[in-house]
Structure 1
């Protein structure tokens, strides 16, 4: 077990290193620099070169990366040359918005997908199952950058139920906070609903054919009791695993939605930093998202081995 944990942690660290290296390499290929953004369009080449030297941006690529990596290992993600704010502080300020959106989207997706999967599994191939499958296919093909504007048009502009853009902090009132967060959370959740529904539907259909379910029915238990007490729980293993993995992905997957709704989360911080060529902030946000994603994946993978003995046996076979 210790070897498994060590191997998984080692691979996770390698992934984070490769991600940060790739981001710095790609940002280095982009035209312009943070110095040119700070000094403006009228800055002379000499002034830009002097500021680049002061910021350490004139160093070779490898030296810049190793300097940043050495500081990042100690928890210092640097300071933004554009805003002067420490990157760690900027991430902490923006993280609650992104986490709330990710958690709300995940909860919405789980609740809706369970209801849809149960409705589909009651009679596979029936009218309800076919209708739900059509809806699921549509949701699976609609990305957030399309779902977001559609939801804004329908529920914000036409019906006026939600604000078009902006964010209300939780300290300003729970009602206002939920009203500003619900629409972007739904936009994120739509594609997750389709994925969760498909996974749970297949597992439920298989479980409902098991002997212990037939025995429960023979005892005269109600269909609802059999479904939720005997069939749903053992069918939820794959769904729980997928939900855990997707939570890490959702933390980084709110970038487009936050930009559409102008929400002050990590996504908007990342996009604004890219536009201003703020490599230090981009690198810090990306490594934070990568660490969260890898950490959640690692915990889910190891937990799955502990929960399901079949996985342990397969790993040691």
Structure 2
């Protein structure tokens, strides 16, 4: 167990290192510099060079990255030369909005996809199943930047039941807050609904063909009891995995939606920082997202052990159990 954990932590650190190096390298290849943004169009080359030297951007790539890394491991992600605000403070200010949007989108996706998958698996290859597959195929093919304007047109422009743009904080009341978050969350959730439905449907159909399910049916148990008591839990492993990874992806993948709906979250922060060539803020936000993704991925692995006892036993217990399994099969 501990060796496996150490290996995963090592992989996580390697991923974070490669991501931060890659982001720094890509930003260094972009035309222009943050000094030109700060000084404006009237800046002279001498002024730009002087400010770059003052900010430390005249040094070599590896010296800049090493200096940033030395501060980052101590929790200091730097200070933006544009806003003069600490990157950590900027992340903490905008993180609740992105977290709420990602969590709400994930909840919507699960609440919609699980009943659809159960219904499809209960009547595979029938009219209901084909209709649900057709709808989810549409969801899967419509990206968020297309679904967003469509939702705004119907629910904000025509029906006028939800706001089209802007964000209402929780301090202004949970009702206005949810109304401002619902459209962008649904726009993000549509693709996740399709993915969750397809994965869970396939696993449920496979599980319902197992012998232990047939034995439960032979006892006269109801269809709903067999589905949720015997089939759903062993079919939820893949759903757990993609749900955790989806949450991590949503935290870092809301740039387009937050920009489209004018939401002051991490997506808008990193989008504006890229435009302004704010390397410090971009690298800090990307590092935070990478760490979040890795941590959630590790929590998903731990979650396997909570729903599947075989994972908790580990490889040694599995090897010890093989002789008994062989004897049982031979008998």
CA distance in 2, matches of 1:304, 1:176: 37
1:295 corresponds to which residue?
A: 295
1:137 equivalenced with 2:131 (yes/no)? no
CA distance in 2, matches of 1:150, 1:87: 34
The one-character-per-residue Cα deviations of 1:290-317 (angstroms, maximum 9, x if unpaired) are: 0000111122124425653555349976
Structure 2: gaps of 5 or more residues? 320-331
1:38 equivalenced with 2:20 (yes/no)? no
1:177 corresponds to which residue?
A: 177
CA distance in 1, matches of 2:230, 2:301: 25
The one-character-per-residue Cα deviations of 1:253-312 (angstroms, maximum 9, x if unpaired) are: 111111110100000000000111111000000000000001111221244256535553
Q: How far has the Cα of 1:190 moved from its partner?
A: 0.6
Structure 1: gaps of 5 or more residues? none
CA contact (8 A) 2:310 2:318 kept: no
CA contact (8 A) 1:258 1:265 kept: yes
Q: How far has the Cα of 1:221 moved from its partner?
A: 2.7
The one-character-per-residue Cα deviations of 1:204-230 (angstroms, maximum 9, x if unpaired) are: 112222233223333333222222222
Number of residue pairs aligned between Structure 1 and Structure 2:
317
CA distance in 2, matches of 1:263, 1:316: 49
Q: How far has the Cα of 1:72 moved from its partner?
A: 0.4
The 5 A counterparts of 1:1-317 are 1-304=1-304, 307-310=307-310, 312-313=314-315
CA distance in 2, matches of 1:42, 1:138: 50
The one-character-per-residue Cα deviations of 1:94-126 (angstroms, maximum 9, x if unpaired) are: 000000011111111111110110110111100
Structure-1-length-normalised TM-score? 0.96
Does the C-alpha gap of structure 1 residues 231 and 305 become closer, same or farther in structure 2, counting only changes over 3 Å? closer
Structure-2-length-normalised TM-score? 0.92
CA contact (8 A) 1:5 1:302 kept: no
Does the C-alpha gap of structure 1 residues 67 and 315 become closer, same or farther in structure 2, counting only changes over 3 Å? farther
CA distance in 1, matches of 2:104, 2:71: 34
RMSD of aligned alpha carbons: 1.7
CA distance in 2, matches of 1:235, 1:29: 46
Q: How far has the Cα of 1:144 moved from its partner?
A: 1.2
